Amino acid sequence: MSFNTFGQMFRVTTWGESHGPALGATVDGCPPGVPLSEADIQPWMERRRPGQSRYTTQRQEADAVEILSGVYEGQTTGTPIQLLIRNTDQRSKDYSDIAASFRPGHADITYFQKYGLRDPRGGGRSSARETAARVAAGAVARAALAALVPGLRVRGYLVQVGPHGIDRAAFDDAQIDANPFFCPDAAAAAAWAAYLDGLRKSGDSVGAVIEVVATGVPTGLGAPIYGKLDGDLAAAMMSINAVKGVEIGAGMAAAALTGTENADEITMGAEGPEYASNHAGGVLGGISTGQPVVVRFAVKPTSSILRPRRTVTLAGTDAEIITKGRHDPCVGIRAVPVGEAMMACVLLDAALRHRGQVGDGPRGHIPVSTPGPAPTQE
Amino acid sequence: MSFNTFGQMFRVTTWGESHGPALGATVDGCPPGVPLSEADIQPWMERRRPGQSRYTTQRQEADAVEILSGVYEGQTTGTPIQLLIRNTDQRSKDYSDIAASFRPGHADITYFQKYGLRDPRGGGRSSARETAARVAAGAVARAALAALVPGLRVRGYLVQVGPHGIDRAAFDDAQIDANPFFCPDAAAAAAWAAYLDGLRKSGDSVGAVIEVVATGVPTGLGAPIYGKLDGDLAAAMMSINAVKGVEIGAGMAAAALTGTENADEITMGAEGPEYASNHAGGVLGGISTGQPVVVRFAVKPTSSILRPRRTVTLAGTDAEIITKGRHDPCVGIRAVPVGEAMMACVLLDAALRHRGQVGDGPRGHIPVSTPGPAPTQE
Amino acid sequence: MSFNTFGQMFRVTTWGESHGPALGATVDGCPPGVPLSEADIQPWMERRRPGQSRYTTQRQEADAVEILSGVYEGQTTGTPIQLLIRNTDQRSKDYSDIAASFRPGHADITYFQKYGLRDPRGGGRSSARETAARVAAGAVARAALAALVPGLRVRGYLVQVGPHGIDRAAFDDAQIDANPFFCPDAAAAAAWAAYLDGLRKSGDSVGAVIEVVATGVPTGLGAPIYGKLDGDLAAAMMSINAVKGVEIGAGMAAAALTGTENADEITMGAEGPEYASNHAGGVLGGISTGQPVVVRFAVKPTSSILRPRRTVTLAGTDAEIITKGRHDPCVGIRAVPVGEAMMACVLLDAALRHRGQVGDGPRGHIPVSTPGPAPTQE
Amino acid sequence: MSFNTFGQMFRVTTWGESHGPALGATVDGCPPGVPLSEADIQPWMERRRPGQSRYTTQRQEADAVEILSGVYEGQTTGTPIQLLIRNTDQRSKDYSDIAASFRPGHADITYFQKYGLRDPRGGGRSSARETAARVAAGAVARAALAALVPGLRVRGYLVQVGPHGIDRAAFDDAQIDANPFFCPDAAAAAAWAAYLDGLRKSGDSVGAVIEVVATGVPTGLGAPIYGKLDGDLAAAMMSINAVKGVEIGAGMAAAALTGTENADEITMGAEGPEYASNHAGGVLGGISTGQPVVVRFAVKPTSSILRPRRTVTLAGTDAEIITKGRHDPCVGIRAVPVGEAMMACVLLDAALRHRGQVGDGPRGHIPVSTPGPAPTQE
């Protein structure tokens, strides 16, 4: 990762501002021969698109992706894929009021301090709008993974909104797309709706926790020491706007476990090693175990709120600020497809790097033996 | 980050196995003219060195660092600095018993699955011994930061061992080096000692949470979008052995905050903007605010324990395993200087990159005005 | 350099095919605050634009560059600059005839062998049309250099067409833009016109040698060992279509020199060291000396010619091929602005990297002393 | 390539100075399971080792390589390979005389201007001694290539010393190791011996041209546009000390060819396409054709000579300088194994990158048909 590019072999560079004419992603290193068209990308854009419920910003964007290069006759060519998304509903006037002050908790002050420039139009490059380009790139990664690693599936959902978590016992995969929160627990979704309606009316916002799970991940992806799969995932998720924490498997709670509890015991199954638990989140020593890869990340509340906060102006005076405009009361909701996209990109990149260094598939094979008596080893 | 290298301008490549003849770090991109000798590095090695209390592994290593290149007459030359650390107490026989089985929760199974090779000697490259090289590199980064950013200070400590956290109200900086846990709370340190003695006798291990804080960080470090300071920190910390979660500022708890609560309100102080709180952990939009940069990470318990766990053998049979040898009951303790080293490396790299793109210092200046009446802005 | 990206801090990724809807460059890492608009870019595009004389392809392209991001109110923001160039005169029918055969000397066979795909439309990604994106990026680099290194000037010209070289004694800077060949020698230009007219009528093509010189380059740019200025220049120039050789300073002829002849003797001048000659081409040990940086590269003749050549078909049969269409009889002519653009990009990248590692300006200063008697040193 | 690292997947970082305690190479990304020991490396070191004839420096170095990591039980593990070479015959006193002056044509002035430091001991990092580390890394690359691409062979030789070239008609592969010049033409070798004896006695030095050829290279290596095989080779060869020009295939002479002459005509052979010539040097569009990959590079004469040259001192006064010490009268001779090593590293890196993006082997297959009548295509 550097500047606006992530990935080593599957390299994604995003570009564009919230209120410029367009934004997009330059995707390099994609394998050739992958079937791809705009129709493969658009459904993923739809999941992230704003304005679809009262819980997200009311900005209306078609988020139509144009493929400008790298695809010929419905297949990737192996050369760079340019994905262009036109901005159509940028209302810069919305932001004219706040041009003179910085929003507490917002990046506008640090962009100014770093670059000496002030682009008040919707946060410019720091806007969550940038994540549209990630979703487009993630759709390309999904298409390539479908060809390279059939059976791999990436799935994200919300597990917490504000202080309200889901009930893991009520987890229902079918619920995820049945409510505006990507929530796998129907009761929690109903509670969140009421909670967010209240927040929205009060002009406030709130954070959330997203979980993204990849199943069907082959063993062997990721590489020591600074190419670890979990290191790449941490960087990828932390790079999403407003993310303040990333967890793999047991996450921060691993600190409270004993070695006895944390060890994911292994037994031989019909097709290879099986794990009794997944505290590891599918990654050991930075390399995938074949178990589901489980990542969680926390998104802070939107800093653009209708409640007055103390701040300073460009001129160096104290002020109070209220941010009008069209903002997400819980930007974490739309972070679900973004987290999925980052997972897909990271896994494809790891798969290509593994294939490059080691060749196709994992090299070390543990044979499935006829189970005999279990000797105690010391 | 890629393979065994991290950093873009200040680039650290670590190499070497736990039980090979030596390990080390190749440090490239260091500014020239930085005063540096082995004596600047050794104190930091001492803080991480094993065998200093009964709470860490009893392996005895001098961890003496030899500078083989890149320093001439006491100054860095701007060319690669090779830092060599000889292994002197590797007892490979300790590991001969476990050569045939995989330790649950340990990377030996994934290294085997990825590379097709089995190096049972202390985990080979996946051993926590690799972190000695990071500490050596971190000492170089500290020396360079001392020259470039006077006043910058990096400090780590333990805030949780197993389920037992510190009392923030009892935080005492002077305590950190006064107990074997880098614990800023004297009472917590005493409690941890008793707790870990019990665990050690039972042959078990436990996790921990480390917090690393950098003060005196200038504004403007870090860059959008995939070069964010917090993204780099997340990758850096997650790359440390056994880390399962990384938090910046409020971290995972940010999810439960409202926008009103989370906003770090700003007022003009005598020398520039001042923040009423630091939920952001010193980073907004991936760029440093000038507040303390606050990172926490959770280390899982050591997987090498004396308590029997179910596993499988290389031959594909079920087995039970007990890992004898010299292991850390709480490897999180020695992760404190490692986390500090990673923080120092990441900050130096960000400072050099900022200087490269933007020039010395931040560009955007908020003048210190005479405070007038505070107008409400909308 | 990797895949479709070059540069470390000033990073240019080009994308797009000869006959797709558009092509362009994603430019990352540009310093903020650089004055930039389309009007700063277009003049450089004009110099490379096809169809301006009978010696280049008759394809008509406006080569109008749209800046889609990274510029706000006439200044670069420090975030990615997307430069979009629409293709308007792609006539795919021109190429339908040759879809079944490979052109000898053309990349269509290797792209097919690598990727398994055949995009006969004007060479797809391998077309010289890709160089339009380089020129656009180079214009951005020039704008940044103008701000960072006032007085730096990059100038390219043709020194040889086919077997016909210029007369160095007749070198006239003012001639370069006065003929369709960027030729500094008026007599040579006239001879080339006649020579190329004959070639064009016979349906043949020919190669050329381009020289690019940068003056006003500060000392200290470039870094050991794999970041040498001449190494970066060699890679940059060799990456241009059809280039088969790159020389710095004396170039291949350096092999025939003795050490006595090759040493560029140094004396103290009024403002610092002065060199009696420039066999080094402005680079010693990969680092700029302050003398003019001199690069030459040879472009082979266009492979698309009207004269029959033996080849093979996709089906594996022998064939003869004649390539109709609109081709450059001497593609080397249009390589002049491309070489200039690459020089500008490489120098800016080196300047930013130097500033990152070492800080502004060179560090080692040789004082201008009052010349005394010259002692013989041994 | 950046700073002291080259390669994307097979990454080599060299470190160390001419007169420090040691130098070496950190090799990352090597495939696992490659048989490797010091005995595989040492023969290549011998070819480059100084002091073997009166035509190279008389410095005596064993150049014994120690493998400190990344190899276990005779096989590479896939983790970093540290290659250490001790310096044993560094005589710093040799250089004390020249500490106060800069050698014309030598990098000592630019290192000083860049870094503000003066390491007069044998050129420090800029010494040709650095190339020992390249040869060691190249031996690792050769071992990996032997496993991945059986039949690939890399071979270098001298084709010109000073103004005296070989007679291509007299080319005899068996001669290359039969004389101290790696010269394939016995008569030329004899002439060079006489020529160099004269030069040496006069205290002068001279340049040379080296050619490196790789046969058995599969089709499809290299990638557009800034990952071209010839671009990587140009950077790799230009990074070798004292190299001033790099050519692929026809090289600079391609400028004088017509398209008709330059086209390497293709016919179907028993095993696939066959080329009537190889002006392309085995690379089209940056991708290997399967023909021999042919690179030439020119090495300038050693700048350390016994003949007086005008220069300046650190104090800014004019001076004359004679460089005593042990220098190569024709450093180009020892560049032969260095060029071979760079070729091996670049090809392995390209092979791993190709495998990563595209999978094993080339994708596009041209079937071997029964030759029919050759239709004229237009």
Burial string for D132-158 (b: 16+ CB within 10 Å, else e) reads bbbbbbbbbbbbbbeebbeebebbbbb
Question: Which candidate, A221, A218, A195, A191, places its Cα nearest to that of A206?
Answer: A195
Over range D343-354, report the average pLDDT.
97
The confidence score (pLDDT) of residue C245 equals 98
Over range B55-78, report the average pLDDT.
89
Residue of D nearest to C15 (CA): D225
Assess whether pLDDT exceeds 90 at residue D300. yes
Provide, as residue numbers in chain A, all residues whose Cβ is less than 8 Å from the Cβ of D363. 32-33
Half-sphere exposure of D275 (CA within 13 A, CB side): 22
Which residue from B3, B82, B119 is facing D77, i.e. has the nearest CB? B119
A48 in a known ligand binding site = yes
Q: Do A117 and C3 touch (CB under 8 A)?
A: no
Assess whether pLDDT exceeds 90 at residue B225. yes
Provide, as residue numbers in chain D, all residues whose Cβ is less than 8 Å from the Cβ of A79. 224
Question: Which candidate, A113, D162, C327, C192, places its Cα nearest to that of B289?
Answer: A113
The confidence score (pLDDT) of residue B261 equals 95
Torsion of CA A86, A88, A91, A92, to 10 degrees: 30
- Which of D66, D72, D127, D140 to substitute to test the interface with B, most B CBs within 10 Å? D72
State how far the Cα of C35 lies from the Cα of C25, in Å rounded to an integer: 18
State how far the Cα of B26 lies from the Cα of B70, in Å rounded to an integer: 10
Q: Do B363 and C223 touch (CB under 8 A)?
A: no
- Please compute Rg for chain B using Cα positions: 22
Q: Do A68 and C5 touch (CB under 8 A)?
A: no
Residue of A nearest to B248 (CA): A244
Provide, as residue numbers in chain A, all residues whose Cβ is less than 8 Å from the Cβ of D8. 8
Shortest Cα–Cα distance, A70 to chain C (Å): 7
For the record, the structure tokens of D262 come out as: 């330059």
Lowest mean pLDDT among B170-179, C325-334, D117-126, D227-236: D117-126
- Please compute Rg for chain D using Cα positions: 22
Question: Which candidate, B332, B328, B294, places its Cα nearest to that of B203?
Answer: B328
Which stretch of DSSP H or E encloses residue A212?
strand A208-215
The confidence score (pLDDT) of residue B119 equals 74
The DSSP-derived string for B136-171 is HHHHHHHHHHHHHSTT-EEEEEEEEETTEE--GGG-
Q: How confident is the model at residue D362 (pLDDT cuts 50, 70, 90)?
A: low
| Sign of the Cα pseudo-torsion (A180, A186, A192, A197, in order) | positive
Question: Which candidate, D31, D66, D10, D17, places its Cα nearest to that of B16?
Answer: D66
C288 in a known ligand binding site = no
Provide, as residue numbers in chain D, all residues whose Cβ is less than 8 Å from the Cβ of C367. 315-316
State how far the Cα of D109 lies from the Cα of C283, in Å rounded to an integer: 11
- Per DSSP, what are the bridge partners of residue B157? B211
Q: Where are the beta strands (DSSP E) in C64-146?
A: 65-67, 71-72, 75-76, 81-86
The DSSP-derived string for C301-362 is PPS--SS-EEEEBTTS-EEEE---S---TTTTTTHHHHHHHHHHHHHHHHHHHHHHHH-SS-
Over range D65-82, report the average pLDDT.
96
Provide, as residue numbers in chain D, all residues whose Cβ is less than 8 Å from the Cβ of A29. 357
Residues in chain A whose beta carbon is closer than 8 A to a beta carbon of chain C? 2-5, 11, 13-17, 20-24, 26, 28-29, 32-33, 66, 68-70, 72, 75, 77-82, 114-117, 119, 124-125
Break chain C down into helix, strand, coil percent, rounded to 5.
Answer: 30, 25, 45
Residue type, B50: P
Shortest Cα–Cα distance, C73 to chain D (Å): 32
Chain B partners (3+ C-beta pairs within 8 A): A, C, D
Q: How confident is the model at residue A97 (pLDDT cuts 50, 70, 90)?
A: low
Q: Do C78 and B360 touch (CB under 8 A)?
A: no
Q: How confident is the model at residue B123 (pLDDT cuts 50, 70, 90)?
A: confident
The confidence score (pLDDT) of residue D378 equals 44
Over range D97-118, report the average pLDDT.
88
| pLDDT mean across residues, chain B | 91
Q: Do C257 and D101 touch (CB under 8 A)?
A: no
Residues in chain B: 378
What number of other Cβ atoms are within 10 A of residue B42's Cβ?
A: 16
Residue of C nearest to D207 (CA): C255
Shortest Cα–Cα distance, A6 to chain D (Å): 15
Assess whether pLDDT exceeds 50 at residue D204. yes
Distances (CA, A) of D27 to A340, B348, C55: 34, 24, 49
Assess whether pLDDT exceeds 60 at residue A152. yes
User: Strand B318-321 relative to strand B309-312: parallel, antiparallel, unpaired?
Assistant: antiparallel
Over range B309-332, report the average pLDDT.
88
State how far the Cα of B258 lies from the Cα of D249, in Å rounded to an integer: 66
The DSSP-derived string for D128-162 is GGGHHHHHHHHHHHHHHHHHHSTT-EEEEEEEEET
The confidence score (pLDDT) of residue D56 equals 75
What number of other Cβ atoms are within 10 A of residue B190's Cβ?
A: 13
Shortest Cα–Cα distance, B72 to chain C (Å): 16
C302 in a known ligand binding site = yes
Listed in sequence order, the DSSP H helices in chain B are 38-48, 108-115, 131-148, 186-201, 229-238, 259-262, 335-358
- Given a contact cutoff of 8 angstroms between Cβ atoms, the answer to whether A208 and B255 are in contact is yes
Q: How confident is the model at residue A373 (pLDDT cuts 50, 70, 90)?
A: low
Q: Do A78 and C33 touch (CB under 8 A)?
A: no
Break chain D down into helix, strand, coil percent, rounded to 5.
Answer: 30, 25, 45
Lowest mean pLDDT among A147-156, B62-71, C149-158, D110-119: D110-119
Assess whether pLDDT exceeds 80 at residue D70. yes
The confidence score (pLDDT) of residue A378 equals 44
State how far the Cα of D14 lies from the Cα of D6, in Å rounded to an integer: 9
Chain C partners (3+ C-beta pairs within 8 A): A, B, D
Q: Do C110 and D288 touch (CB under 8 A)?
A: yes
Q: How confident is the model at residue D1 (pLDDT cuts 50, 70, 90)?
A: low
The confidence score (pLDDT) of residue D91 equals 62
Which residue from B33, B79, B359 is facing C224, i.e. has the nearest CB? B79
Q: Do D252 and C247 touch (CB under 8 A)?
A: yes
Which stretch of DSSP H or E encloses residue B65?
strand B65-67
State how far the Cα of D95 lies from the Cα of D107, in Å rounded to an integer: 15
Q: How confident is the model at residue D371 (pLDDT cuts 50, 70, 90)?
A: low
Residues in chain A: 378
Q: Do B113 and A362 touch (CB under 8 A)?
A: yes
State how far the Cα of B141 lies from the Cα of A125, in Å rounded to an integer: 30
User: pLDDT 10s digit of each residue in chain C, 378 long?
Assistant: 578 999 999 999 999 998 899 999 999 999 999 999 999 999 999 988 777 777 777 777 789 999 999 999 999 999 999 999 999 876 655 555 567 899 999 999 999 999 998 877 767 888 889 999 999 999 999 999 999 999 999 999 999 999 999 999 999 999 999 999 999 999 999 999 999 999 989 999 999 999 999 999 999 999 989 999 999 999 999 999 999 999 999 999 999 999 999 999 999 999 899 999 999 999 999 999 999 999 999 999 998 888 999 999 999 999 999 987 767 889 999 999 999 999 999 999 999 999 999 998 667 888 886 555 555 544
For the record, the structure tokens of C81 come out as: 């600059």
A179 in a known ligand binding site = no
Q: Could you give phi then psi for residue D312, rounded to 5 degrees?
A: -125, 160
Burial class (CB in 10 A: 0-12, 13-18, 19+), B326: middle
Question: Which candidate, A191, A201, A186, A202, places its Cα nearest to that of A161?
Answer: A191
- Which residues are CB-neighbours of B349 under 8 A, at least 6 positions away? B7, B8, B9, B10, B11, B232
What number of other Cβ atoms are within 10 A of residue B60's Cβ?
A: 13
Lowest mean pLDDT among A11-20, B19-28, C69-78, C112-121: C112-121
- Which of A23, A300, A331 to substitute to test the interface with B, most B CBs within 10 Å? A300
Shortest Cα–Cα distance, B355 to chain C (Å): 5
Interface contacts A/B by beta carbons within 8 Å: 500
- Per DSSP, what are the bridge partners of residue B298? B209, B245
pLDDT in tens, A248-294: 999 999 999 999 999 999 999 998 999 999 999 999 999 999 999 99
Question: Which candidate, A195, A186, A294, A183, places its Cα nearest to that of A237?
Answer: A294
Q: Do D235 and C1 touch (CB under 8 A)?
A: yes
**Model confidence, pTM:** 0.95
- Which of C15, C109, C210, C303 to substitute to test the interface with D, most D CBs within 10 Å? C109
Q: Do C355 and B359 touch (CB under 8 A)?
A: yes
Assess whether pLDDT exceeds 70 at residue A140. yes
Shortest Cα–Cα distance, D1 to chain C (Å): 5
Provide, as residue numbers in chain D, all residues whose Cβ is less than 8 Å from the Cβ of B72. 17, 117, 119, 124
Chain D partners (3+ C-beta pairs within 8 A): A, B, C
Shortest Cα–Cα distance, D200 to chain B (Å): 32
B302 in a known ligand binding site = yes
| Sign of the Cα pseudo-torsion (D5, D6, D8, D11, in order) | negative
What letter would DSSP give residue B125?
Answer: G
Q: Do D23 and B75 touch (CB under 8 A)?
A: no
Q: Do D356 and A356 touch (CB under 8 A)?
A: yes
State how far the Cα of A336 lies from the Cα of A328, in Å rounded to an integer: 14
- Given a contact cutoff of 8 angstroms between Cβ atoms, the answer to whether A237 and A368 are in contact is no
Which residue from C252, C307, C372 is facing D252, i.e. has the nearest CB? C252
- Given a contact cutoff of 8 angstroms between Cβ atoms, the answer to whether B294 and A349 are in contact is no
Provide, as residue numbers in chain A, all residues whose Cβ is less than 8 Å from the Cβ of D223. 78
Q: Do A224 and D79 touch (CB under 8 A)?
A: yes
The confidence score (pLDDT) of residue D377 equals 47
- Given a contact cutoff of 8 angstroms between Cβ atoms, the answer to whether C207 and C298 are in contact is yes
Which residue from B33, B70, B115 is facing D32, i.e. has the nearest CB? B115
pLDDT in tens, B339-362: 999 999 999 999 999 999 999 866
pLDDT in tens, D77-97: 999 999 999 998 766 555 555
Distances (CA, A) of C5 to C39, C200, C234, D225: 25, 35, 15, 8
